[in-house]
């Protein structure tokens, strides 16, 4: 299944690589592209990126493990990054995070049984003016309350 998806991405990959002055510079972008389609970074994806960037697979793997946004194992359909930075702490995020955990019945780094959500306690996401906040999928949700968290989760059901 991976292979078919990656074959489809080849057309786009060629355009991406062409934008950069050196092929290896496309590494992060290609990883984002493939992860968006597959859900996490598989060994096939690493090999595919290595093919396009002409850097050894081991080097691609090193990159994957360095950056927090690349999932090394399957994430939920919607990934939640909950900000645990200083401003969110001043805004009392702990209570809202435990509410979210109770609701999803998962801890940091886990995926819900139905595979719908995964949770990551993130470092500062730089929306400090609207603390506490979390990122659900791509979107920033700010000035969180327990009620707001309920509404956001319901909208993703």
Partner 1 sequence: MSEPILSRNFNIPDAHKLSVAESRGAYETAKKVLATSKPEDVINAVIASNLRGLGGAGFPTGKKWQFLPKDNPKPVYLVINADEGEPGTCKDRYILERDPHQMIEGIIISAFAIKSHKAYVYIRGEYVEPYRNLQAAVDEAYKKGYLGKNLFGGTYSLDLVVHRGAGAYICGEETALLESLEGKRGLPRLKPPFPAIVGLFGCPTIINNVETVACVPHIMKNGAEWFVKLGTPTCGGTHLFSLSGHVKKPGVYELPMGIPLKEIIYNYGGGIKGDKQLKAVIPGGISAKILTAAEIDVKMDYDSLKAAGTMMGSAGIMVMDENTCMVKMLYYATKFFSHESCGQCSPCREGTGWAHKIVTRMYHGEGTLKDLDTLLTIARNMEGRTICVFADAAAWPIQSYIGKFRAEFEAYIQNGKGKDLKPQEAVLQHG
- Least separation in angstroms between residue 36's CB and partner 1 is 10
Distance CA 144, CA 14 (A): 41
Q: Applying CB under 8 A, which part among 2-10, 80-88, 111-119, 145-153 lies near partner 1?
A: 80-88
Radius of gyration, alpha carbons of the chain: 18
**Contact between 130 and partner 1 per CB under 8 A:** yes
**Contact between 114 and partner 1 per CB under 8 A:** no
**Contact between 89 and partner 1 per CB under 8 A:** yes
**Contact between 56 and partner 1 per CB under 8 A:** no
Q: 53 or 118, CB closer to partner 1?
A: 53
Interface ranges with partner 1 (CB under 8 A): 19-22, 24-29, 31-32, 53, 55, 59, 62-63, 66-70, 81, 84-87, 89-91, 94, 98, 101, 107-109, 121-131, 135, 138-140
């Amino acid at each position: 299944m991976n292979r078919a998806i990656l074959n489809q991405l080849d057309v786009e990959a060629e355009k991406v690589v062409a934008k950069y002055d050196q092929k290896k510079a496309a590494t992060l972008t290609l990883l984002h592209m493939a992860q968006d389609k597959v859900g996490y970074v598989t060994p096939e994806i690493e090999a595919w990126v290595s093919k396009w960037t002409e850097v050894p697979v081991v080097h691609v793997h090193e990159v994957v493990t360095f950056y927090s946004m690349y999932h090394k194992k399957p994430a939920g359909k919607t990934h939640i990054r909950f900000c645990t930075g200083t401003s969110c702490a001043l805004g009392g995020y702990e209570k809202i995070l435990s509410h979210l955990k109770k609701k999803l019945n998962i801890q940091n780094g886990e995926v819900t049984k139905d595979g719908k959500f995964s949770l990551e306690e993130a470092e500062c996401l730089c929306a400090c003016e609207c603390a506490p906040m979390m990122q659900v999928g791509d979107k920033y949700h700010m000035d969180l309350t327990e009620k707001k968290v309920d509404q956001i989760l319901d909208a993703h059901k």
